[in-house]
Chain A
Amino acid sequence: QQPVQSPQAVILREGEDAVINCSSSKALYSVHWYRQKHGEAPVFLMILLKGGEQMRHEKISASFNEKKQQSSLYLTASQLSYSGTYFCGTVEINRDDKIIFGKGTRLHILP
């Protein structure tokens, strides 16, 4: 079941903060976050495991609430380089370790 991401798009000024949410109706083993810049391949940011701690990549952090099957990505003091589309991917418990990706959240940072 494809996870639902919100919002679909965000426009920020450089230095502002943003939160991207990812929600699933299934019990999850892990949540992955990737960023894709226009015309490029997606790049891995972080993985959050069931029972694991909050993760961080530079000024980007994420949390995973297993009980609610939700994850949130926090972008602090955004930089121009953060622009792109962010995808969450979920791995459901007992579902062959395949990642199901959401439709993505487009983030545009203005100078």
Chain B
Amino acid sequence: DGGITQSPKYLFRKEGQNVTLSCEQNLNHDAMYWYRQDPGQGLRLIYYSQIVNDFQKGDIAEGYSVSREKKESFPLTVTSAQKNPTAFYLCASSIQGGQEQYFGPGTRLTVT
């Protein structure tokens, strides 16, 4: 089955700790994206990558970092510099930029 997976589904961390969210796809898509979803705010773009070893900042990149060493994987690190990290994080992929996006099930991160 082709698809996009995120793990874990729920994640709890103490303030001041970095945490890495996993995103894997086996759709052979070139483009991958990370979004943050807060109530009433829609989907806000954190980072995106249109090709391996290249990525660009989205609208709210501060306090986050990513890597794209393999086509299938696009992990997101939430650093201690992110002031309000508690949110629902969604990863997506598309054949190429600007095309239909397939979303993973999301990771709900709670930082206390």
Residues of B within 8 A of A41 (CB): 90, 103-106
User: Are the C-beta atoms of A97 and B42 separated by less than 8 Å?
Assistant: no
Tell me whether A87 and B100 are in contact (CB under 8 A).
no
Q: How far is the CA of A66 from the CA of B44 in the complex (A)?
A: 24
**A87 engages B42 (CB within 8 Å):** yes
Query: Is A2 a contact of B42 with CB atoms below 8 Å?
Result: yes
Contacts of B101 in A (CB 8 A): 32, 34, 42, 44, 99
Q: Which residues of A contact B97 (CB under 8 A)?
A: 96-98
Closest to A42 in B: B103
Interface readout for B5-21 with A: 1 if CB under 8 Å, 0 if not?
00000000000000000
Interface size for B (C-beta < 8 A) is 26
User: Does A97 contact B50, Cβ atoms closer than 8 Å?
Assistant: yes
Chain A residues positioned under 8 Å from B56 (CB to CB) = 96, 98
Alpha-carbon gap, A2 to B56, bound state (A)? 18
**Bound-state Cα–Cα, A101 to B95, Å:** 19
Contact yes or no, B58 A44, CB < 8 A: no
**Which of A42, A91, A98 lies in contact with B48, CB distance below 8 A?**
A98
Bitwise, A91-111 to B at CB < 8 A (1) or not (0) is 100001111111110000000
